[in-house]
Structure 1
């Protein structure tokens, strides 16, 4: 297990080193993002649905994921009063939401096999309803940011929000697989065979993307705000994990998977929204990398310590 975690960490740090050796450029992470979000992650989602039994009780995990993402957003809004507006936006966007599809899914599948992917995906369906677009709308509304958005007619605002959701291929795949689950539709074997190599590449591509995004900020205030976000996420992670372990009506294996997911890092969408609202892309990328490394350490320890069925 240590070697599995080490391999994922090497993928992050290795691509970061290659960037500083000028083998990769400063904005090459966008290529990696395109590959992960439009190819490897959708294939990993489909493969997990296609190769696992669908228990309708797992819809409880969807609901749990929604509250696990939404509640922290409002708690941080109240708890960050007195800070500068841009930094409040940074805290709200980055202290809430779980990076499940691009980070936790490959990590958990590396630890526990491909069958561990389905609970993470169900958790991410609920999480993604907020993280992929809702958090941006809520943050800029509560903090009175983005006057252009506020000046639009209600119909255009709703259209923009819908575009944010439907423009994500991963979110669309989540919704499609949920429909397949309700209708008991199975994925044909030729499609499974076709997508398997792309799904298997998701772990490396996701870690490489994080390494390419990493850049250390030179602003002391930025570093302090990052520490606040890490503290927020640690508190929320513990609360979500304890709730998952004692409340969710599933066996120990599934509860362990959700507990590991509770300590997932900052989402890719949060970094994108931070850049668009505050213009601080360097802090956003570095925050994702730091929390990804911390999450990998915590998830490895928890997987070793938690009891198994």
Structure 2
């Protein structure tokens, strides 16, 4: 649709607002409405924070000889997972029972993406921290999906349900999330890269996916987990770079073209790896 001129990259912004504020919250409500809050779900929340911290530290070690801007680019690009707009719609039609696991992981993931990662990265590169815990909390509360996450989590901890009539309506909205998310990714997708940045981008992507595949192998073969939880974690390990990381890279001083290419290449690589995981683990 973009190539024939019917839509433009700018239309992705409108789709993004619909997804973030309407269809994704509907998925969260429908998926969490009847779950029992178990230790496994809280384990996923902790993993959402832990994965980000681990990959940021790995990026810091790998990029220690580079400039601060390139170090930040490396750490932001290696950390964070695109769950709401990619991971969730990707598994929605194949593993619907895994959706609560991905959503709980995304709560911890969101804490890092909306400020936690910046706090840690600024500390690792030796710069003054511009993000406070208060700013992170305010940023999270401004996020519609995160606010819905928290409301549903509290409701389920209190064993409070959502009326079936409401769920029936929201299910129609939730069903649109997968298509709209993938369509938005298509509108944003670009493969243009300055030649001078080719080596840097290659190293960043190789580092991200080597760490991701390493974590995936650990959870697949070494950690005793129930099958659905294991599959969810392995899929998450190879999920693509999130939009928040793209924004943070540009704020750190990297040019948009390089960061945009990194994000698009990440989507392609993750699409292949996640498909492979689904074929091998089903």
| TM-score over 0.5 (shorter chain) | yes
In the alignment, which residue of structure 2 is the partner of 1:125? Answer: 107
Q: Specify every segment of 5 or more residues in structure 2 that has no aligned partner in the other structure, as ranges.
A: none
RMSD of aligned residue pairs (Cα, Å):
2.2
**Which of 84, 87, 108 is residue 101 of structure 1 equivalent to?**
84
Structure 1 position 122, deviation (Å): 1.6
Question: Measured at CA, do residues 29 and 87 of structure 1 come closer, stay the same or move farther in structure 2, by a change above 3 Å?
Answer: farther
- Does the CA contact (< 8 Å) of 1:125 and 1:174 recur in 2? yes
**Counterpart Cα distance in 1 of 2:222 and 2:107:** 19
- Aligned positions of 1:106-185 closer than 5 A: 106-112=89-95, 114-143=96-125, 150=130, 157-185=132-160
Residue by residue, what CA displacement relative to the aligned partner does 1:221-255 show, whole Å, maximum 9, x if unpaired?
A: 33322212221221221232233335655421221
Identify unmatched segments of 5+ residues in structure 1.
1-17, 151-155
Give the corresponding residue for 2:42: 59
Alignment of 1:21 onto 2:9? no
- The answer to whether the 8 A contact 1:42-1:170 is kept is yes
Which of the numbers 170, 173, 177 marks the counterpart of 1:198?
A: 173
Aligned pair 1:234/2:217, yes or no?
A: no
* TM-fit CA distance, 1:270: 0.6
Whether contact under 8 Å (1:217, 1:223) holds in the other structure is no
Normalising by the residue count of structure 1, what TM-score does the alignment of the two structures yield? 0.83
User: What is the deviation of 1:136?
Assistant: 2.4
**Aligned partners of 1:260 and 1:299 also within 8 Å:** yes
2:154, 2:243 → 1: CA distance? Answer: 25
d(CA) in 2 for partners of 1:189 and 1:247? 41
2:245 aligned with 1:270: yes
Equivalences for residues 73-92 of structure 1 within 5 A: 73-92=56-75
TM-score if structure 2 supplies the norm length?
0.90
